[in-house]
Amino acid sequence: MSQIVEKARLRKQLLDSRDALSLDFIKIASSKIQDNLRKVEHYRTAASIGGYYSIGSEVQTQGILQEILNAGKDLALPKVVKNELVFKKVSRLSELEMGNFTIMEPKDRYETVKKLDVIIVPTIALTREGYRLGYGFGYFDRYLHKKRSKKIALSYAKQIVKSIPHDGHDVKMDCIVTEDEVIYPI
């Protein structure tokens, strides 16, 4: 089976599993993940953080994003511009607008940020080695490939899998935060 077909099969299976989670579980696990994220030194000491506005059954990030803003740190969120991912500085979550893929994102006029200390990356699944299964569009992998930012993925423990097909285009995470633990892949 080709890597593309295998990733698509795995993506559907794991998304279906995640989408079946109860809202109560998502809220409780997301709160624990936020607590565990605070234990990550790169996150705590970062002056500028790229995040994402969660949708559906993803780990809820709105509380994390607000916490970053409340701490006086620079927050940037992703936006697809001309088929490339850029991060734009955000000062209030209430100023976001509906964008591509029905995701809340910064307005065009917001300042594009070139350098971020930490980037919190969305994911469907991960391995303990730091390989990530994303949504299949490649935006984050292309963006992260050129960056020195520390990459942190948020995930439910049940979305950590034994293996994910990967190649040279796939970018490994520096840290994985679940409701149960913080994983530093080697």
The answer, yes or no, to whether residue 1 has pLDDT greater than 70, is: no
In this prediction the pTM is 0.94
Dihedral angle sign, alpha carbons of residues 74, 152, 95, 137: positive
At residue 147 the predicted structure's pLDDT band, cuts being 50, 70 and 90, is confident
- Going from N- to C-terminal start, the domains of the chain cover 3-183
Judged against a pLDDT cut of 70, whether residue 148 lies above it is answered with: yes
C-alpha span between 50 and 29 (Å, rounded): 21
- Span 3-183 CATH architecture: 3-Layer(aba) Sandwich (3.40)
- In 3D space, the residue among 136, 99, 113, 122 whose CA is nearest the CA of residue 176 turns out to be 122
Look at residue 184 in the predicted model and tell me its pLDDT.
97
Distance CA 49, CA 51 (A): 6
For tokens 């469907």, the residue is 124
Q: Phi and psi for 159 in degrees, rounded to 5?
A: -95, 5
Is the pLDDT reported for residue 95 higher than 70? yes
**Percentage of residues in the chain having pLDDT higher than 70:** 99
Residue 178 has pLDDT above 90, yes or no: yes
Q: What is the pLDDT of residue 47?
A: 98
Q: Is the pLDDT of residue 30 over 70?
A: yes
pLDDT of residue 131 exceeding 80: yes
Average pLDDT over residues 105-131: 95
C-alpha closest to that of 155 among 122, 130, 184: 122
